[in-house]
Chain A
Amino acid sequence: MSVSLRCVEASDLLLPGSLPEALAMMAEPEPPTPLAGGTDLMVQCEAGARKPPARLLSLKQLPELKGIDEADDTIRIGAGATHWQIRNHADVKVGLPGLVEAVSMVGGRQIQTMGTIGGSLANGSPAGDIAPYLLIADAVVEVASIEGTRQIPIRNFLIDYRKIDLKPNELIVAVTCKVLPEGAKEGWRKLGPRAAQAISKIMGNYRGKIVDGVIESFAVSLGSVAPTAIRLPEVEAFLVGKPLSEETIAEAERLASASVKPISDIRSTAEYRKWVAGRLVRGFLTSFTKGNEGSEGSEGCES
């Protein structure tokens, strides 16, 4: 079977050799559409949800967007790093274990091989698999244009439904995450309509630390329950300093459920999402009492 790709047929492809060259092209009056893995863009064009752009600017070959580098307590991931590279990176596995789990559930191997962390953020979908993790890892998004570079905390970068803090002439260059602190634990769960190759109905991440049965810190985020991925500040504020008891867990579950206003769509219902938002928080907290390693997540594909 041959395949016709309306996106590719209709668009001119620009292939800059370096980031400055790419930024110069982005500075033109009608900037081209950046193309990373194309795993969202090409599907959107093919489905008629988006008009094929006149010009595409390929990011794949830019050396500045590659690379994953560890500093003291952070890991800087180039925007062009693919899910597959992130998943198999030794430093990321140790420092950002929840990210490894999150990218493992993005599509299947083909999508993971093509898709990039920068592309996932730029797509701005509230169901994106990466943003909730970046929220609990206090990530900073680095964007660049010919005017210079901006460092934007992820919670400010995600503005609204499919709206991010990225100007038409800017490119996402890197994402820097705080590594899991000593003694802390993080985990993740995605509920999709099937075991793999699925867009989430809801997903969440947490990072927390319990000392002598008392919650010292707890960050929790959810995706697919609001126009963007969100943290749950009320739940977090309630939990810090509390003993990890059934009473605490029940109240956190109630608070989490009460604090989200999800919608019904083709994947799930508002009512179920609202209920299960609380259930995920319960599951995250219970994982501390069980003392099991890592996350609550179900198995990723090709793990």
Chain B
Amino acid sequence: MQTKEITFKHVGQGIPRRDGDEKVRGLARYVDDLNIPDCWYGVAVRSPVAHGRLKTLRYDPAFDFDQVCVVTPEDIPGKNIVDMMGQDMPFLAHDLIRYRGEPLALVAAPTRQLAEQAAAHIQPDIDPLEPLYTLEEVIALHKTDRSKLDELSAQTIIKGSVDEGLAAADKVIEGEYWAGHQEQLYIEPQGMVAIPEKDGGVFLQGSLQCPYYIAPELIVTLGLPLEKIRVKQAAVGGAFGGKEEFPTLVAGYCALLAMKSGKPVKMVYDRCQDIRYSTKRHPAWMKYRVGLKNDGTITAIHVDFVLDGGAYTTLSPVVLYRGILHTTLGYNCEHVFVDGRVYRTHTFPDGAFRGFGAPQAIWGLESHMQECADALGMDAEVFRLKNYLRAGDKTGTGQVISAEMDPPAVMLETLKRSDFVNRRTLNTYGVPRDGKFFGVGVAFFGHGSGFTGDGEMRLQSKAALDLDWLPNGKPGVNIRISSTEMGQGTLTIMPQIAADGLKIPMACVDCPLPDTKYVPDSGPTVASRTAMVVGSTVYGAAEKMKALLEQYASDAFFGGHPCHLEDGVLTCSAVSQSQTFEDVARRLLEEKGMQRVVHQFKLPDTVVWDQKTFKGDSYPSYSWSANIVEVEIDALTLEIKLKKATSVWDIGRLMNPVLAKGQIEGGLTQALGYALMEKMGIRDGLFDADRMQTYVVPTSLDTPEFDIHFMEYPYPHAAPGAKGVGEIPMDGLAPAIANAIKAATGIRMNRIPITPESLWEAMPSTRKEIAS
């Protein structure tokens, strides 16, 4: 399907968020707002140690446990396993405990207070074992004695012969880069309610990204068939990946309590619980060794890429895959070797977070590419443009950059808009001017759209459109997809796309929140795939629905002559008559009832991927961007201020430029926090910054002047031609800032977040001053 000749009416327009009004007015109903009669409250009895063996649970005889419901492993109807990758996480720890706060039992009671009291009267006896907490400890062992580490996943990428490439180099540049935990810090904490159904099933409603992760994952634990586990999304106050795989845990806790007690059971985490006991971005360490010719040619890229996976496998292998695929992305090199590993530590399992391994990889890649340029004495943009992938070149996995992509275009445009070549003459290189250090830095990067490799083929995502009566009493079309609104605009862009596929007004299209009772599986709301993959599937369904309506109108109104639906009107030129969409749909509904069409996503047949060797087309397509930033550092205090961020984005065809820009401003702000502020340590096995007071994210006063510009290179194989926008804004700002800090101070900062404190430690001149 070629998209170029299609014209769009709604797609590409800055239509306001459909759910904006109810959210601004406080009318949206989040899970804690739902009025559920006779609802009990659930809490977990959590392990006080991070690593150990559970001997027994002691119940305080003074407490009346008859007034509450307690679930222990013996009460689990199915297997005591969270059905995720690795199959290594129990719902309730019964023997080995692998993180502090791991649930040992669950309690529900008519009030939260009583549930908390009951939980406090259940005491575990544990034989403690030695815990391993930090990536620093992991890397020390990775370098010396890997047998002491528990490897959760490993994967390599091999292209050519990296030894040959390094041997051919004039120079080999090495560097190590570190990134810490990052918390999603969505506004609404995790929450779920489970309601027992009369047929023995369970109805789950909550704050979640992926209804079709929860339902199939709970089959194993609850011992129920899929059709008896119904999952519905409540309004979601932000997610950023934090509500991708994690809600299965809360859903399981609530469902187990609801099934045993026979009561609806709700759990809503407070902020402190949410930070302590939910997923974070994986801490990462990378070591780059890059072979260079004196003329700037890259002869070899060797990368060690290690993630701290936390206590259990969960999604870590997939995060690792996306991570290693981005460690060399964008650069043309014959000889590549990437060695990726995930090791277990005794902290809460790390999980999905906007970017999913790519922000860590690009932090290392773009920092190191600048080191390479500096080592050669080449200008940042000259070195990058010399080596960047162009149409016809091959990535590290051998994927050919197709003709409709032009990765360097965004770089050239960003250079122009930021006036980089002139602005960099102001770089201070360690000698402050008027009390300030100043530097301008660049990062240039891509992000794979959709699932890794042939994942989109295996997912077989479906979208349905129902011609039905809408809540306003008029006939219209309901979009039935499992993609969720979590702030990114799904509920707005899908009606834009469907209206364009059907050629009817947007007012005739509705997109209710997903409920597995009504929606097919369109795959999870992750991987920057919603606009590209699900949007295209909705578009395909809309074309089918348009054909259905045209066929019906032809038979019912135009004596069998063909007709054409355009702008909400079906016109038959043979008889020179027309009917409105509303009149045709009304008669069809009255005559035959609700009409459903289903469409399934397909990748082009040319996509080839080998999951074992990691060779082939690692993503259906790529979005591209360059970020150029100006940073000012106060020489008096070493406070770092991001002054300006110029960025150009190829995210394919724009579905909604206003929402896309919002995604990018928000993502860049989140990336600014990752780069300069968001610091999470481990204290006694728990995350130390466990409140909004201590976990510092940027406010609007910390944001720079943003110059955001789009260049549209639509994805040709999935109309309307979006690529991904959700994650790529998270990818490149940290290295751009670090590169600007180097231009300002002459110092390479290789660990994020970069703070005045870490800069102070790295600047020998400041140390000298304090010593004097």
Q: Which residues of A does B touch, CB under 8 Å?
A: 1-2, 4, 43, 46-48, 191, 193-199, 254, 257, 266-269, 271-272, 274-276, 278-280, 282-283, 299, 301
Contact = CB atoms under 8 A, between A and B. Distances in A.
Contacts, number: 71
Interface in B279-310: none
Given A47-B272, A282-B636, A275 B32 contact: no
Contact of A279 (B637, B697, B755): B637
A286 to B, nearest CB: 8
A272 B32 contact: no
Interface in B365-390: none
B197 interface: no
Contact of B112 (A4, A48, A266, A272): A4
28 contacts: A1-B30, A2-B33, A43-B693, A47-B272, A47-B691, A191-B639, A191-B756, A193-B677, A193-B696, A193-B755, A194-B702, A195-B699, A199-B693, A254-B772, A266-B689, A266-B694, A268-B757, A271-B761, A272-B757, A272-B761, A274-B770, A275-B769, A276-B638, A276-B756, A278-B770, A282-B636, A299-B701, A301-B701
B770 A271 contact: yes
A266 B727 CA distance: 29
Question: Which label, helix, strand, loop or mixed, suits the secondary structure of the B interface?
Answer: loop
A69 B85 CA distance: 68
Contacts of B188: 1
A197 B699 contact: yes
Interface in B632-653: 636-639
B688 interface: yes
B32 A279 contact: no
B636 A283 contact: yes
B766 interface: yes
Q: Which residue of B689, B694, B701, B761 has the most chain A CB atoms within 10 A of its CB atom?
A: B701
A6 to B, nearest CB: 9
B505 interface: no
Q: Which residue of A48, A193, A266 has the most chain B CB atoms within 10 A of its CB atom?
A: A193
Given A195-B701, A271-B760, A1 B33 contact: yes
A75 B534 CA distance: 65
Contacts of B694: 266-267
Given A272-B757, A272-B760, A194 B770 contact: no
B450 interface: no
B218 to A, nearest CB: 25
A194 to B, nearest CB: 5
Contacts of B638: 276
Interface of B: 30, 32-33, 112, 188, 237, 270, 272, 636-639, 677, 681, 688-689, 691, 693-694, 696-699, 701-702, 755-757, 760-761, 766, 769-770, 772
A196 B757 contact: no
A129 to B, nearest CB: 14
A37 to B, nearest CB: 16
Nearest to A257: B770
A1 B677 CA distance: 27
A194 B697 CA distance: 8
A1 B32 contact: yes
A282 B766 CA distance: 14
Contact of B677 (A46, A48, A194): A194
A257 B693 CA distance: 27
A279 B636 contact: yes
Given A1-B188, A47-B272, A276-B637, A198 B696 contact: yes
A2 B770 contact: no
Contacts of B689: 266
Contacts of B760: 271-272, 275-276
Contacts of A275: 760, 766, 769-770
A191 B636 CA distance: 11
A302 to B, nearest CB: 10
Contacts of A267: 694
Contacts of B33: 1-2
Contacts of A2: 32-33
A109 to B, nearest CB: 12
B495 to A, nearest CB: 26
A269 B756 CA distance: 10
Nearest to B769: A275
Nearest to A196: B701
Contacts of B770: 257, 271, 274-275, 278
Nearest to A296: B636
